Copies of this chain bind each other. A is one copy, B any other.
Amino acid sequence: MQPGPHLDNPVDTLLEKIEIDGTAELGGKLHQFAADLYPTCRSITGNGIRQTLRAIQQRIPLQIFEVPTGTAVFDWTVPKEWNISDAYIRAADGRRVVDFRSHNLHVMSYSSPIHAVLPLETIRPHLHTIPEYPDWIPYRTSYYQENWGFCLTYNQILSLEDGDYEVCIDSTLEDGHLTYGECYLPGRSSEEVLISCHTCHPSLANDNLSGVSVAAFLAEHLAGQDLRYSYRFLFIPGTIGAITWLAQNREKAAQIRHGLVLTCIGDSGGFHYKKSRRGNAEIDRAVACVLKDCGERFEILDFSPYGYDERQYCSPGFNLAVGCLMRSVWGTFPEYHTSADNLEFIQPLSLAKSLRACAAIVNLLEKNRRYLNQNPCCEPQLGKRNLYKSTGGEPVGQQIHARLWTLNMSDGEHSLLDIAERSGLPFETIAGAAEALCQSGLLLPLP
């Protein structure tokens, strides 16, 4: 048997490394990375996202791109760049009753500048609260319609007395750039796996520092490895970022074979995977196969054209095999888009297990191929090759069953993922069987 070219090593290394680190230690690192990025006031353009990308660049080889305001990207136009240095509402007594410096959610993202003294009644339509959660600050944006606004707790608004207030938003909304980061890890094939996460939200932890942190650590682990696929990690502003990237990288997009959008992946909920538009792409089956054996609750959701950047990747002109991996689904938990989506809302252990699931998915994609049984007529005599008894700690039955399944189904038409699905056995067990059978010369990988 000719061995497959560096078949399993790189990603096994990753999974093993995760095991060696221990999920607790790894989780701590993932959470710390999110914590470091948490205070930054990000938006879809501006210095907040630039600063965030530079922090990610400390861990991984990230190329940062700047796309000028006004650039046409399909049906859209790259907007003006927004920056902010201060914002407040000051009472007559000089006290800042709402203060951007205490929480960057206090300003509606993309607020145009204002500095005026106004009576409360005039200000009120610009104030946003969540009466149901009177201590939480909502997150609001107005990207494509010039406006200004403040977000505050419901209790704050209750304490405001009538009268005049000094309203100040020291922001700029000017021609500039849209900034995004790209980490490309070349593999043996030019076919790509895309990992995309939106990096445009201010101090919100699950949405989406969780995705940013998991993606950055995954890239860090894969960097420098001998990989089958090439990997492209995108750290981009939501919607306009994905549209901009797709508009300017149509040839690269055509190389994408599998992809994941990572979002809301650090909370304590079970996994949710939203399938690609294709619905039965290899990535869809790979994620389902990994989650089935991950030891956590999970649910597979059908594609819908509403959500995060899978909307763009799965638009009919691209129809890429890109799904969205989450824990709790955006919009379904009350903390979503509020100040309660904070560093306590995301859990180190959840982050580590999310990274582990991503690594297992990558592992599956790297290893999934078709083999050809070299002894297709009747079973080969496994006993004389010492393959009819278990070799490791696994229960005898499962390991031998995996070998029999892999031999039986390796007719050149079925991949290891097909075999894992039909047998109900974990992919790793099937992949291990394939490796053992290759070593015995009973199986050969197909090109």
Across the interface, A305 reaches (CB within 8 A) one of B75, B312, B380, B407, namely B407
Q: List 30 A-B contacts (CB under 8 A).
A: A73-B378, A74-B375, A74-B378, A74-B380, A75-B378, A75-B381, A76-B378, A76-B381, A144-B384, A243-B378, A243-B379, A246-B378, A247-B377, A304-B401, A304-B404, A305-B408, A306-B401, A306-B404, A311-B404, A315-B407, A316-B373, A316-B407, A316-B408, A316-B409, A316-B410, A316-B411, A317-B376, A317-B377, A318-B377, A318-B378
Closest chain B CB from A274 CB (angstroms): 13
At the interface, yes or no: A57 with Cβ under 8 Å from chain B?
no
Residue of B nearest to A376 (CB): B317
A106 to B214, CA, bound (A): 62
Residues of B within 8 A of A304 (CB): 401, 404-405, 423
Q: Could you tell me if B76 and A315 are in contact, using CB atoms closer than 8 angstroms?
A: no
Residues of B within 8 A of A75 (CB): 375, 378-381
Q: Which of A336-395 contact B (CB under 8 A)?
A: 373, 375-381, 383-384
Q: A315-B376, A378-B315 are in contact. Are A305 and B74 (CB under 8 A)?
A: no
Residues of B within 8 A of A277 (CB): 408
Q: Which of A397-447 contact B (CB under 8 A)?
A: 400-401, 404-405, 407-411, 423
Q: Could you tell me if B144 and A311 are in contact, using CB atoms closer than 8 angstroms?
A: no
At the interface, yes or no: A18 with Cβ under 8 Å from chain B?
no
Residue of B nearest to A414 (CB): B316
Q: Which of A103-145 contact B (CB under 8 A)?
A: 144-145
Q: Could you tell me if B318 and A247 are in contact, using CB atoms closer than 8 angstroms?
A: no
User: What 1/0 mask marks residues of chain A from 286 to 305 whose CB sits below 8 Å from any chain B CB?
Assistant: 00000000000000000011
Closest chain B CB from A284 CB (angstroms): 15
A247 to B379, CA, bound (A): 12
A377 to B305, CA, bound (A): 13
A312 to B383, CA, bound (A): 16
Across the interface, A408 reaches (CB within 8 A) one of B314, B381, B404, namely B314
Q: Which of A72-99 contact B (CB under 8 A)?
A: 73-76
A81 to B32, CA, bound (A): 70
Residues of B within 8 A of A408 (CB): 277, 305, 314-316
Closest chain B CB from A314 CB (angstroms): 7
Residues of B within 8 A of A314 (CB): 408
Closest chain B CB from A328 CB (angstroms): 19
Q: Which of A131-164 contact B (CB under 8 A)?
A: 144-145
Residue of B nearest to A410 (CB): B316
Residue from the set A239, A318, A408 with the largest chain B CB neighbour count within 10 Å: A408
At the interface, yes or no: A242 with Cβ under 8 Å from chain B?
yes
